[in-house]
Amino acid sequence: MLNDFLILMKSELVISFIIFLLLFIKVGTEMTNDRLLSLVQFLLLANFIAGFLFNEAGSLFGGAFTTNALMAFQKSILSLGVYLISLLFADWLKKSEHMPEFFMLMLSALLGMFFMISSGSLLMFFLALELSTIPVAAMANFDLEKKLSSEASMKMILSSAFSSGILLFGISLIYGATGTISFTEMPALLDGSPLQILAFVFLFAAFAFKLSIVPFHLWTADVYEGAPIAVSSFLSVISKGSIAFILLTALYKVFGPMHAVWYNMVMILSIATMVVGNLFALRQQNIKRFLAYSSIAQVGFILVGISSNSIEGISSVVYFVLIYTFSNLAAFGVAGVISQQTGKERIDDYKGLYQTNPFISWILALALFSLAGIPPTAGFFGKLFLITAGASRGSYFFITVAALNLIVSLFYYLRVIRAVFMDKNEQPIEKINMHPSTKLGMIICGAGIVLVGLLSWVYDYIVNLSM
């Protein structure tokens, strides 16, 4: 029993260990930010590596907590993301005097996501969801003196409180309709009766809120813009990824019987999300807000993949989230470095960036091409596999809309590329000197963007996991 406990919950345990370590360091010692940062980076790296060791499938607490290889892999994607964040935003982190708290919050959110991914019952899911939400709301407010920051976090906490109210109402209805909250028992009891559909809609709305699917997305842009870039990137990559994973489990495993219902729902929402996200992104000037809308559009594509109730669906979504982690973090990282050093966050400020900073320009270009799905970057493969998975249901209309949205998205990604590479600028952003770990993070992202696509075994590995 104890062994199972230690083995199956090892990643959660590692995270909690790190959290407590930080707590002790905070209260106990006078460690400088620098050393602490490198320590944390090391620990996170260790955590990431540990994610690949001794993975076993099994369940605890009477099925409330389950885990398997795929879930472990999903968790390691998330920990990789966190590790990259700790690298990319080193400068910003060093400056803030509350760095340990920041990591504690982020890690507890991560812990929540881990639990969410391997949750086996609605109760566990709900607790994990809250655990992964509330700290982030606090993190959003981390620039304590900035007005926008606190506005952002206010919007986030209130909307998420509201959404969790909706979620709970849905859960209660499900409970009423089926009498169970465990994922394993529920499918048998689902028959698509109106009450269940209603409950499902409530439940799904909560997912949609976290995943910022139109029309539940409105908080996203504001929060991303207001919050510190590190937090925005965490929100856009880590929390979105975790929700995408759990949404897979929920839709495929739990609500599988109601596939007929949710396929159409996902299709409609996906189209709406892609279109609205793209249309809003077209206009944006602030790079963070721009990335926010672009990530909304990306979620639309994730939904395309999810809509196919199949192995390809799972694997392509996981694969895409992995690629998306690299691409989006790279983009956020560049934006973060620039705004950290110059305070400039407008796309127009990026004009002529290539003249002064070729390296980060190329990184940014790679990231954006990957987001736009241009070969040979990994994003191309990710998008393509998502669409392929979605096409397996054979709705030409759906796929055509998705494909056409690729063009619109390309249009606004090219806006940034044009600013960086083509436009003239009298006083471009001056040469930026980065923290070495930031550089390392960017290189990792770049390598990931290039390699994850071309090395096909990554995808094969994921496919084998999702079997």
Partner 1 sequence: MNDFLHIPILQVLPPGWDLGWSLMLIPLLPLAGFLLLGLFGRKYVKNSSGIIGTTLLLVSTALSLYTAYGYFFEFGKVDGVYQKIIPVQFTWLQFSPGVSIDMGIILDPISVMMLVVVSFISLMVHIYSLGYMKGEERFPTYYAFLGLFTFSMLGLVMSSNIFQLYFFWELVGVSSFLLIGYYYDRPSAVAACKKAFIVTRFADLGFLIGILILSFYAGTLDFNTLIERLTSASAPEFQSAITSSFLGVSALTWALVLVFIGGAGKSAMFPLHIWLPDAMEGPTPVSALIHAATMVVAGVFLVARLFPVFSMSPPALDIVAYTGIISALFAAVIACTQTDIKRVLAYSTMSQIGFMMFALGVSGQGGENGLGFTASMFHLFTHAMFKALLFLGAGAVIHFIHSNEMKEMGGLRKYLPVTHISFLIACLAISGVPPFAGFFSKEEILLAAYHHNAGIYWMALVTSGLTAFYMFRLYFRIFWNRSAIVHGEHHGEGGFAMMVPLVLLAVGAAAAGFIPFGNFVSSDGKRPESVFHLEFSIAPVAIGLVGIFAAMWLYKKQNDRAAAIAKSLNGFYKAAYHKFYVDELYLFITKKILFNLIGRPAAWFDKNVVDGLVIGTGNTTQVISEKIKGFQSGKVQQYAIYFLAGVIGLAVLFIYVWK
Partner 2 sequence: MNLTLLILLPLLTAVLILLMRNAQQVKWTALIGSTLQFALAFVLLFAFRNERAGGNEAQMLFELQYNWFPALHISFHLGVDGISVAMILLTAFVVVAGVLVSWNVTKMTKEFYFLLILLSLGAYGFFMSLDLFILFFFLEIAVIPKYLLIGIWGSGNKEKAANKLALMLMGGSSLVLVGLLGVYFGSPEKTFDLMTLSQLNIPVEVQKICFPLLFVGFGVFTALFPFHTWVPDGHSSAPTAGSMFLAGISMKLGGYGCLRVATYIMPDGAKEYADIIIVLSTIAILYGAFATMMQKDLKYINAYSSVSHCGFVLLGIGMLTKTAITGAVMQMVSHGLMTALFFAVIGMIYERTHTRQVNEMGGLLKVMPFITTVLFIVGLCSLGLPGLSGFVAEMTILMGSWQHPDWFHRIATIAACMSIVVTAVYILRAIGQTAMGPIKAEYANLADAKWNEKLAAVILIAGIIAIGVAPFWLNDLVSPAAEIIMNKVAGK
Partner 3 sequence: MMEPGLYHLLFISAALFFIGVFGFFTRRNLVTMLMSVELVLNSVNLNFIAFNKYLWPNKLDGLFFSIFVIAIAAAEAAVAIAIIINLYRSHHSIDVENTEELKF
Binding site for partner 3 (CB under 8 A): 122-123, 126-127, 130, 134, 137-138, 141, 144-148, 150-155, 157-158, 161-162, 164-166, 168-169, 171-173, 175-176, 179-181, 221-222, 225-226, 283
Of 367, 361, 401, 406, nearest to 383 by C-alpha is 406
Residue nearer to partner 1 on the CB measure, 76 or 159: 159
Interaction partner, residue 11 (partner 3, partner 1, partner 2, none; CB < 5-8 Å by kind): none
Is residue 261 part of the contact set for partner 1 (CB under 8 A)?
yes
**Contact residues for 304 (Cβ-Cβ < 8 A; gap 6+):** 270, 386, 387, 389, 390, 398, 399, 402
Interaction partner, residue 369 (partner 1, partner 2, partner 3, none; CB < 5-8 Å by kind): partner 2
Place of tokens 């920990």: 79
Is residue 201 part of the contact set for partner 2 (CB under 8 A)?
no
Is residue 282 part of the contact set for partner 1 (CB under 8 A)?
yes
Is residue 418 part of the contact set for partner 2 (CB under 8 A)?
yes
Interaction partner, residue 197 (partner 1, partner 3, partner 2, none; CB < 5-8 Å by kind): partner 1
- Using omega within 30 degrees of 0 as the cis cutoff, is the peptide bond preceding 376 cis? yes
Is residue 450 part of the contact set for partner 2 (CB under 8 A)?
no
Residue 261 CB, shortest distance to partner 1, in Å, is 6
Is residue 404 part of the contact set for partner 2 (CB under 8 A)?
yes
Interface size with partner 2, residues (CB under 8 A): 33
Query: Are β-strands 58-60 and 65-67 bridged in parallel, bridged antiparallel, or unpaired?
Result: antiparallel
Is residue 401 part of the contact set for partner 1 (CB under 8 A)?
no
Residue 202 CB, shortest distance to partner 3, in Å, is 10
Interaction partner, residue 168 (partner 2, partner 1, partner 3, none; CB < 5-8 Å by kind): partner 3
Interaction partner, residue 374 (partner 1, partner 2, partner 3, none; CB < 5-8 Å by kind): partner 2
Is residue 388 part of the contact set for partner 2 (CB under 8 A)?
yes
Q: Rule CB under 8 A: which of 202-231 touch partner 1? A: 202, 204-205, 208-209, 215-216, 218-219, 221-222
Residue nearer to partner 2 on the CB measure, 352 or 448: 352
Is residue 406 part of the contact set for partner 2 (CB under 8 A)?
yes
Interaction partner, residue 450 (partner 3, partner 2, partner 1, none; CB < 5-8 Å by kind): none
- Of 279, 384, 414, 463, the residue at the interface with partner 1 (CB under 8 A) is 279
Is residue 274 part of the contact set for partner 1 (CB under 8 A)?
no
Residue 135 CB, shortest distance to partner 1, in Å, is 20
Amino acid identity, residue 210?
A: K
Is residue 463 part of the contact set for partner 2 (CB under 8 A)?
yes
Q: What is the 3-state secondary structure (H, E, C) of the chain?
A: CHHHHHHHCHHHHHHHHHHHHHHHHHHHCCCCHHHHHHHHHHHHHHHHHHCCCCCCCEEEHHHCEEECHHHHHHHHHHHHHHHHHHHHCHHHHHHCCCHHHHHHHHHHHHHHHHHHHCECEHHHHHHHHHHHHHHHHHHHCCCCCCHHHHHHHHHHHHHHHHHHHHHHHHHHHHHHHHCCCECCCHHHHCCCCHHHHHHHHHHHHHHHHHHCCCCCCHHHHHHHHHCCHHHHHHHHHHHHHHHHHHHHHHHHHHCHHHHHHHHHHHHHHHHHHHHHHHHHHHHCCEHHHHHHHHHHHHHHHHHHHHHCCCHHHHHHHHHHHHHHHHHHHHHHHHHHHHHHHHCCCEHHHHCCHHHHCHHHHHHHHHHHHHHHCCCCCHHHHHHHHHHHHHHCCCCHHHHHHHHHHHHHHHHHHHHHHHHHHCCCCCCCCCCCCCCHHHHHHHHHHHHHHHHHHHCHHHHHHHHHHHC
Residue 176 CB, shortest distance to partner 3, in Å, is 4
Q: Indicate the length of the chain as a whole number.
A: 467
Tokens of 218: 């409105």
Dihedral sign for Cα atoms in the order 161, 44, 122, 306: positive
Amino acid identity, residue 69?
A: A
Residue nearer to partner 3 on the CB measure, 101 or 423: 101
Residue nearer to partner 2 on the CB measure, 168 or 408: 408
Rounded Cα distance, 28 and 43, in Å: 19
For residues 123 to 162, the per-residue mask of contacts with partner 1, x marking binding by CB under 8 A and - elsewhere, is: -------------------------------xx--xx--x
Residue 455 CB, shortest distance to partner 2, in Å, is 10
Positions that interact with partner 2 (CB under 8 A):
312, 315, 369, 374-376, 380, 384-385, 387-388, 391-392, 394, 396, 399-400, 403-404, 406-407, 410-411, 414, 417-418, 421-423, 456, 459-460, 463
Positions that interact with partner 1 (CB under 8 A):
154-155, 158-159, 162-163, 166, 194, 197-198, 201-202, 204-205, 208-209, 215-216, 218-219, 221-222, 261, 264-265, 276, 279-280, 282-283, 408, 411
